[in-house]
Amino acid sequence: GQSLEQPSEVTAVEGAIVQINCTYQTSGFYGLSWYQQHDGGAPTFLSYNALDGLEETGRFSSFLSRSDSYGYLLLQELQMKDSASYFCAVPDNYGQNFVFGPGTRLSVLP
Amino acid sequence: EAQVTQNPRYLITVTGKKLTVTCSQNMNHEYMSWYRQDPGLGLRQIYYSMNVEVTDKGDVPEGYKVSRKEKRNFPLILESPSPNQTSLYFCASSPDRDYEQYFGPGTRLTVT
């Protein structure tokens, strides 16, 4: 079986830094992905970590620790447009199907 | 333009009336999936396909069927819809399971 845990909500102000955590339990491990979804929209891919460490893409960074079954998404210099839901996701069933976490709703305040 | 399309975008139907939601991608991707999204439950995979004629169940396959006769198309079939299948459905494709998935715009289905 598999399970992923994320905080349900996070609130921060413009210009701040926020970290969204994700812990997972899967049958085998093939990488951790992050997706963003604005209200009424489709999920869009943000990042993918297959190895331990930090991956940086502009204002967004993603971190993975395979030994701790843990990862996080770091958003810097927050902007109002970053208000959205963020999902971590992993392949499971020995790499066959795909499982998403319950999502974290980020609210960015002025 | 690279994209995943779904039709219809909105559908209201009655219990038991068979329906099909189409999904098509123009990126020559091998991996395709169907998800449903319900409040508080995130995205749950219904079925996935690793390639033509290769499909398998995800986490919530009951009440759904799929087919993959062509690489670009992956329709979702509800043979006898029930109210608990009222949900937002997304189709997605990717070059490989490990790569980023491209999502369609979603289909909001209401079964009364």
| pLDDT value of position A95 | 63
Which residue type is seen at A26? T
Interface test with chain A among B91, B98, B102, B108, by most A beta carbons within 10 Å: B98
* Contact flag B43-A45 (C-beta cutoff 8 Å): no
Measured CA angle at B108 (ends A46, A7), to 5 deg? 40
Take residue B98 and report the two structure tokens written for it: 């490990």
| Percent helix / strand / coil, chain B, rounded to 5 | 5, 50, 45
- pLDDT tens across A17-29, in order? 999 999 998 777 7
* Contact flag A98-B44 (C-beta cutoff 8 Å): no
Q: Which residues contact A94 (CB under 8 A, 6 or more apart)?
A: A27, A28
| pLDDT value of position A97 | 78
CA distance B40 to A4: 13
| pLDDT value of position B1 | 86
Alpha-carbon distances, residue B80 vs B27, B41, B87 (angstroms): 32, 23, 15
Residue B98 scores a pLDDT above 80:
no
- pLDDT tens across A69-85, in order? 999 999 999 999 999 99
Beta bridge partners, A27, equal: none
